Amino acid sequence: MPTGRGISALDSAQHQLARAAERMSLPPGTLHRLSRPDRVIEVSIEIQLDDGAPAWFTGYRVQHSNLLGPYKGGIRFHPGVTQDEVRALAMWMTIKCALVAVPFGGAKGGVACDPASLTGDEMERLSRGYVRAIYRDLGPRWDIPAPDVNTGAQVIGWMADEFGRLHGSFEPAAFTGKPDALGGLPARTAATGRGVAYITMAIARRIELDISRATVTLQGFGNVGRYAALDLHRAGARVIAATDVHGGVYNAKGLDVPALAEHASRTGRVSGFAEAEPLDRDRVFDVKADVFIPAAIENQITGETAPRLRTRVVVEGANGPTTPEGEAILHDRGVLVVPDILANAGGVIVSYFEWTGEQTAGGRGQAGVERGLRDHLTRAVDQTYTVAQLHGIELRTAAYMVALRRLAEALVAWRGRQ
């Protein structure tokens, strides 16, 4: 998905990888291994629409690296899905899992489609068709998909059911993010957004920003933005603006986030919320706040939009929302950027608990899962912040260095076993 200057998500991912590798003098062989995926799968999916007409869609699954464990990554349904985008997302998953010390590799999947134009039955046919096209390359010990943009527990439930049908038996660990009735964790839906909120609060403490007095703006109000907003609201932060693909809302005194979440669930959009002023979705970059959370899609903070941001901290709820040019501008202006590979890692951590069947993580049920989520994120924040302070570098490069060190050690260990 190019920006105005032609920078794609893949360009950004490779730039970030090379920058960190150079900083830590990563061996060229390791950089070569991680700069390209192990496998790229592209398929054509044919389904029958409700009116009986055939329709064709292009689907992808990119398996980037399994140095640390089985390939792991979500599946998105979006009109802008391309092979390069999925390759970038798969690379980020590899780095993310290594950073938070979850024993998974990185993968990603996607189908180029417009879910808004499909009925529920058509979505089910497409979900099952995608699995039929790639099921031989999936499995609980090989590649474990999960939800992503425009997919959720229902889509994953269809996919898990289709995978089980093709294999002759249901495999609970073959997918994560499943409906609760199929072995999913209730905490999974909120996990990524809850992790974003937790990371925001952890970073706020380090820079002496009182979260109970902080103002927050959000771009994107899906699962990530919504649950991040709810948790930050509960912590006392004042969420003053939120946007989605349809538009936005603003209230200088603070939005009633629980009421806004209910409105968005009922209407499918934040616009039209009675207790706020309307806000053009592009104007969210102009609203002054302590924290800005981009929680939509990649390449939103660019050379054009970065100068407009009036914020102290950017916490990347989405994958790849900031281009290298945009980040350079923010850095020059003294804006702290908390990278996606740290900020939105909550989803894959809770997916790990689901995959292992670990309903407890230091305790029983929901409380135990949330405690495990906090433990993983706390260690990652501490390690990243320490490396950043030690080397005098931005958090993104520091996070990459923590992750790449683990991946390089794994590669040496694998070679030693050959």
Catalytic residue ranges: 108
| 3-state secondary structure (DSSP) of residue 104 | coil
Q: Is 300 exposed, middle or buried (0-12, 13-18, 19+ CB in 10 A)?
A: buried
| Cβ–Cβ under 8 Å, residues 180 and 186 | yes
Rounded Cα distance, 188 and 182, in Å:
13
362: region left, alpha or beta (phi > 0 left; psi from -120 to 50 alpha): left
Q: Indicate the angle between helix axes 188-206 and 223-234, nearest 10 degrees.
A: 50
Strand partners of residue 61: 41, 109
List, edge to edge, every strand of the sheet that includes 54-65: 39-48, 54-65, 106-112, 71-78, 143-147
Strand partners of residue 111: 59, 77
Q: Indicate the angle between helix axes 395-417 and 365-391, nearest 10 degrees.
A: 100
Tokens 């660990």, located at residue: 173
Q: Which of 359, 400, 414 is nearest to 99 (CA)?
A: 400
Extract the tokens encoding 101. 């010390």
